[in-house]
Amino acid sequence: MIRIAVDLMGGDHGPEVVVPGVGKALERHPDIRFTLFGLETECRGVLDKHPALREASTFVPCEVAVSMDDKPSQALRHGRYRSSMWRSIEAVKTGDADVCVSAGNTGALMAMSRFCLRTMANIDRPAIAAIWPTMRGESIVLDVGATVGADAQQLIDFTMMGAAMARALFEIEKPTIGLLNIGVEEIKGQEEVKEAGRLIREAAMPSFDYFGFVEGDDIGKGTVDVVVTEGFSGNIALKTAEGTARQIGSYLRAAMSRTLMARIGYLFAKGAFDLLREKMDPGKVNGGVFLGLNGIVIKSHGGADAEGFAAAVDVGYDMARNGLKAKIEHDLKLYHNRRAAFAVPVGDTSSS
């Protein structure tokens, strides 16, 4: 039994989309027990339309819903203990849920998650990891917005967490890891990135294979299973990829409707275009994972439809079922033990 707490009030459409999404996830995973948090006046009527979900869940009425426009400081100050977002995170802290899933305000969700769950031992800053469609399947990219301007130690932490997530999500024994850089040569890039690469290579972790530096085009190629970067460049890469997917889709729709022959050709190739559209749909790989906390929190895209929200729940299910938190703790402990054996502190490059 996997227990998942859901903030019904998050996202652009609230319970009207979130509730059907949770229902779809339940159809795929009947072993989930949901605890649903939301405003009773807005949620009861929607839940009544989904009797199977209502039977497999517990609804907890809340008094406050965090707005998508609230600043993190506002969300923390004004009635946070009574909000659906806070109470869904708190369910993970108290052990009543294994995972929290919300489509709410990203800044508020991260601030509340850090405040409520705290970071793991030896973790300075958490990261948001995104699942990325590639030419080879899927990969993980982190950080995509939580930590701007990460130093070498934070990049190392992201590497350990990303590798653990890849093992939990993709169920591969030794994922490949790459550090995003402006070139693959060891002499290129910022000092923090070069130092992180040196220390990761020296540690020779048995739980993943360090590939080295990767460039921006390697993300879509699927050159490695996990791409590690800091939050500023990671977020730009994510938003650029999403925008490019929509741009290409718009070009295709315009081209296919321009002439009668183009419309006839579309009918013959409809299956191929449908497959392309599905591959390019960001909602199909929805679900950013907050890594480095003492609990699992999944952030769904605010504009996701019901199928997209269900995909975020799927990610949370896999993270809990495959022991994400235990894997991260194991890798962090092993890494720090290995670094202690080298006895070279981060920042000291005299041994290189």
Task: Report yes or no: 298 and 98 within 8 Å, Cβ to Cβ.
Answer: no
- Which letter does DSSP use for residue 127 in this model? E
- Each residue's pLDDT, cut to its tens digit, for the chain (352 residues) gives 899 999 999 888 899 999 999 999 999 999 999 999 999 999 999 999 999 998 889 999 998 888 888 888 877 776 678 899 999 999 999 999 999 999 999 999 999 999 999 999 888 889 999 888 888 888 999 989 888 888 999 999 999 999 999 998 888 889 999 999 998 888 788 899 999 999 899 888 888 999 999 998 899 889 999 999 998 988 888 888 777 777 777 777 777 777 877 777 766 666 666 665 666 565 566 888 999 999 999 999 888 899 999 999 999 999 999 888 888 888 888 888 877 766 555 555 444 4
Scanning the chain, the segments in alpha helix (DSSP H) are 15-28, 40-48, 51-55, 72-77, 84-93, 106-117, 152-170, 191-203, 216-221, 231-256, 260-268, 270-280, 306-321, 324-342
Residue 68 has what pLDDT? 85
Q: Could you tell me which residues are beta bridge partners of residue 5?
A: 35, 100
Task: Report yes or no: 199 and 346 within 8 Å, Cβ to Cβ.
Answer: yes
Scanning 118-188, the segments in alpha helix (DSSP H) are 152-170
Quote the CA–CA distance of 109 and 102 in Å, as a whole number. 8
- pTM: predicted TM-score of the whole model, two decimal places: 0.85
Residue 279 has what pLDDT? 60
Residue 263 has what pLDDT? 72
Half-sphere exposure of 346 (CA within 13 A, CB side): 21
Task: Report yes or no: 300 and 11 within 8 Å, Cβ to Cβ.
Answer: yes
Quote the CA–CA distance of 271 and 188 in Å, as a whole number. 44
10's tokens: 């998050």
User: Boundaries of CATH 3.40.718.10 in the chain?
Assistant: 1-117+290-304, 122-280+322-352
Architecture of the structural domain at 1-117+290-304:
3-Layer(aba) Sandwich (3.40)
Residue 273 has what pLDDT? 60
205's tokens: 């972790």
Residue matched to tokens 């009544």: 48
Query: Whose CA is closest to 200, among 352, 48, 28?
Result: 352
- Looking at 3.30.230.10, 3.40.718.10, 3.40.50.12160, 3.40.640.10, the CATH number of the domain 122-280+322-352 comes to 3.40.718.10
Residue 23 has what pLDDT? 95
